[in-house]
Amino acid sequence: MEITTFHSNRMMRRNIICSLDRSALFLLLRLSLDEALFVLSFSRWFSFVLAEIGLAANSHFPMASFSGKNSVLKATAPKFILAFLLVGCATAPRQYNFPDPASLAPRPGVPDPLVMMDGGPVQTRNEWRYQRRPELRALFQHYMYGLIPAAPADFETRVVGQYPDFLDGKATLRLISLETGPTNAPRIDLMLVAPNQRPGPAPVFLAMNFCGNHALTEDPRVPLTRNWVPNFCKGCTNNSATEASRGSQSADWPLAEIVRRGYALAAFYSGDVDPDRADVSEGLYAFLAEGDPAKNVPANRGTLAAWAWGFERCVDYLMEDPDIDAGRIAAVGHSRNGKAALLAAAFDDRIAIAFPHQAGCGGSAPSRGKTGESVKVINEHFPHWFNATFKQFNDAPERLPFDQNCLVALCAPRAVLFSAAHEDQWANPSGQFEVLQAAEGVYRLLGAPGLGVKEMPPLRQLVGNRLGYYIREGKHSMTADDWRVFMDFADKQWKR
């Protein structure tokens, strides 16, 4: 059994960088370019540096090429990056004091992500990165999702099974246990399927599922989930998985086709992080509360933020797996899982593409939308997904100082695909298209192509550039054909 202890999270990277003796940093600045590259190439520290300033998740800077005196490394100008970090380490995080929701002025249209909370314009890339982007992240956590919990100081990953004969020998099935703390902390079972025939590390789709990894394949070596499962999962009895549930969703997860096209799939179950229960909180927040019920109010706990945290912990592992291209990690989710995938991408720059499939209200659709699910309805039916403050916008979503176009903007310049279904009006397909349009300004500011089209495309026509949109016939579902579109979009972004 392989056991690895990780200490890799974004705050720790910054702490590592900023704790280095400043004289050592200045010494590196005095070296020639090749000398600096030679010193940095001996460890992953340079990868930490690039990840800290958001380059690691950019498809133009695949992490797999960060070694030796590679020309990609030279193009990143290490001495400039070190100088940048010296300035960044001296800057304390900004503290915000946001107004009460009732005192916010109504804004009928979606707010412009390039306008600060105080009304000031964002005109430069530095103003976006150091002022507006941190402000938007703080706003989303304060008024809607709640705080995304901090990464654990360390956690252990255990490879509990590895089978190179998966899919008739075309792939290796690896079962990994991500242990995020003591025995009562969440333990995430990650299922990784990687193609055996590939020219190098594989790009990966990281996807959160509804019913457990065992539902994605009939292979009996994948263990049944041990956690609570919803009753809509086939083959479950009394909210527990049974042998009858194996492979119950395999038709919608085309593992063989994903492998054939050269991709890996990493999958985990949402219930391993925080079970999707409005009345009971027994996952991440129960652990963090340490027995204090005042710190763990089930209906206001912010489960979407917990699931985004789960995505981040899986990324922690994938960044270190030699079979995975750490610069080409895509987050995938359907419906509520898509909301979490988009939120995770907005807050974790290591995620290179976000695929929030039919994510609707609270995800890819505007909160101010007049079609489909409303803020009030989603809060009444799923109160645990958001924080208590978001409920204060039930009857006045126009008071929100942001909308979901701002969440997409937080992903810029990375790629995002919104995919929808014509009969799924509850998820507001046309509103999703408008959200992408309203995020384009940030992409242009950062020198990246946005959506690039003015009107919704016909059914089954994938459109866009760094931002993409696709709508098909049918209802609210994720199918094998949707996966084809995901892979087509990823092929375009990663030039495969």
E strands, 270-314, in order? none
Which residues touch 457 (CB under 8 Å, ≥6 apart)? 463, 469, 470, 471
Query: What is the spatial distance between Cα 159 and Cα 44, in angstroms, rounded to a whole number?
Result: 22
Query: What is the spatial distance between Cα 178 and Cα 189, in angstroms, rounded to a whole number?
Result: 6
Query: What is the spatial distance between Cα 45 and Cα 247, in angstroms, rounded to a whole number?
Result: 41
> What b-and-e string marks burial along 143-176, b requiring 16 or more CB atoms within 10 Å of the CB?
bbbbebbebbeebebebeeeeeebbeebbbbbbb
The pair of structure tokens assigned to 35 is: 């000398």
DSSP 143: I
Catalytic, 335? Answer yes
Pairing of strands 171-179, 187-195: antiparallel
Q: How buried is 130 (Cβ within 10 angstroms: 0-12 exposed, 13-18 middle, 19+ buried)?
A: middle
Catalytic, 476? Answer yes
Q: What angle do CA 392, 396, 399 make, to 5 degrees?
A: 90
Q: Which of 65, 240, 250, 476 is catalytic?
A: 476
DSSP 387: B
Pairing of strands 202-209, 467-472: unpaired
Q: Which of 59, 335, 367, 419 is catalytic?
A: 335
Query: What is the spatial distance between Cα 230 and Cα 337, in angstroms, rounded to a whole number?
Result: 14
Query: What is the spatial distance between Cα 492 and Cα 465, in angstroms, rounded to a whole number?
Result: 9
Query: What is the spatial distance between Cα 236 and Cα 233, in angstroms, rounded to a whole number?
Result: 6
Which residues touch 70 (CB under 8 Å, ≥6 apart)? none
Cβ atoms < 10 Å from Cβ of 462: 17
Order across the sheet with 324-334: list the strands.
Answer: 2-6, 155-165, 171-179, 187-195, 264-269, 202-209, 324-334, 353-357, 415-421, 467-472, 463-464
Residues acting as catalytic residues:
335, 476
